[in-house]
Chains A and B, each alone.
Chain A
Amino acid sequence: AQSVAQPEDQVNVAEGNPLTVKCTYSVSGNPYLFWYVQYPNRGLQFLLKYITGDNLVKGSYGFEAEFNKSQTSFHLKKPSALVSDSALYFCAVRAYNTDKLIFGTGTRLQVFP
């Protein structure tokens, strides 16, 4: 069975500092991994995805994520946080040849000025 874990309900970081939002997954076979962001009263916006190839994936708004197969992780990172990055972040996984996208419970990122 597929599953995604986002171990932190909330991450607090000062503006200008690097940020990391953690995600670990469990699937059979090759995983396809996604990050989405949700701002208040909005739907989910796609940030980036890992399908194959380079383990470091770059996405929108300066975000990147690193696929680590041995640790079954796909942590989201940004070198310098902005107050406007404050939002709810969702990690999602889909196994090869399956239709269902499984989401984590979300991590609220709070960036303080």
Chain B
Amino acid sequence: ETGVTQTPRHLVMGMTNKKSLKCEQHLGHNAMYWYKQSAKKPLELMFVYNFKEQTENNSVPSRFSPECPNSSHLFLHLHTLQPEDSALYLCASSQDKGSTETQYFGPGTRLLVL
């Protein structure tokens, strides 16, 4: 275990549903990340938070809405998703945003949009 947990592990939702993904890290880190992993594509960075402040939004559609209430918790709120949003969503954390810092990943949430 890496010290980063994600719930739920699997999620099936319709295009009109609203759901949320949760990430929690027990490592005392200050930076947290959301990534999207699709088959045959490199990991796509979606959002970065450092000390609860969003520092990067990588041109992510507004149907994805992140929330970081504290340095240990990160949410990804989902609404009116499209089938092409089906993917593995990975959360990661690192001590801070520094270039040499290692990111530690959670197990991911496998999302299927019908």
Per-position contact with A for B97-114: 1 when CB-CB < 8 Å, else 0? 101101111111010000
Which bracket fits the contact residues of B? 20 to 34
Q: Bound complex: CA of A98 vs CA of B108, how far in Å?
A: 25
**Cβ-closest chain A residue relative to B91:** A43
Report whether B42 and A104 are in contact in the complex, using a CB–CB cutoff of 8 Å.
Answer: yes
Q: Kindly list chain A residues whose C-beta atoms are within 8 Å of the C-beta of B48.
A: 99
CB of A26 closer than 8 Å to a CB of B: no
Q: Bound complex: CA of A49 vs CA of B6, how far in Å?
A: 25
**Cβ-closest chain B residue relative to A51:** B100
Interface segment out of the listed A12-20, A65-73, A89-97? A89-97
Q: Kindly list chain B residues whose C-beta atoms are within 8 Å of the C-beta of A42.
A: 107-108
Q: Bound complex: CA of A43 vs CA of B35, how far in Å?
A: 11
Report whether B106 and A90 are in contact in the complex, using a CB–CB cutoff of 8 Å.
Answer: no
A96 to chain B, nearest CB (A): 6
Q: Bound complex: CA of A42 vs CA of B2, how far in Å?
A: 11
Of B90, B102, B104, the most chain A CB neighbours within 10 A belong to: B102
Within 8 A of B (CB), among A49-82: 49, 51
Q: Bound complex: CA of A4 vs CA of B42, how far in Å?
A: 10
New A-B contacts (15) at CB < 8 Å, excluding given A43-B105, A46-B105, A104-B42:
A34-B102, A42-B108, A43-B6, A43-B107, A43-B108, A44-B43, A44-B90, A46-B103, A46-B104, A99-B55, A99-B56, A101-B45, A103-B43, A105-B40, A105-B41
A-B contacts, 21 of them at CB < 8 A, read A4-B42, A32-B99, A32-B100, A34-B102, A36-B105, A42-B107, A42-B108, A43-B2, A43-B4, A43-B105, A44-B90, A45-B105, A46-B103, A97-B99, A99-B55, A99-B97, A99-B99, A100-B45, A100-B56, A102-B42, A104-B42
Chain B residues proximal to chain A, CB less than 8 Å: 2, 4, 6, 40-43, 45, 48, 55-56, 90, 92, 97, 99-100, 102-108, 110
**8 cross-chain pairs, A with B, having the tightest CB-CB distances, nearest first:** A43-B105, A44-B105, A103-B43, A43-B107, A103-B42, A51-B100, A99-B97, A43-B106
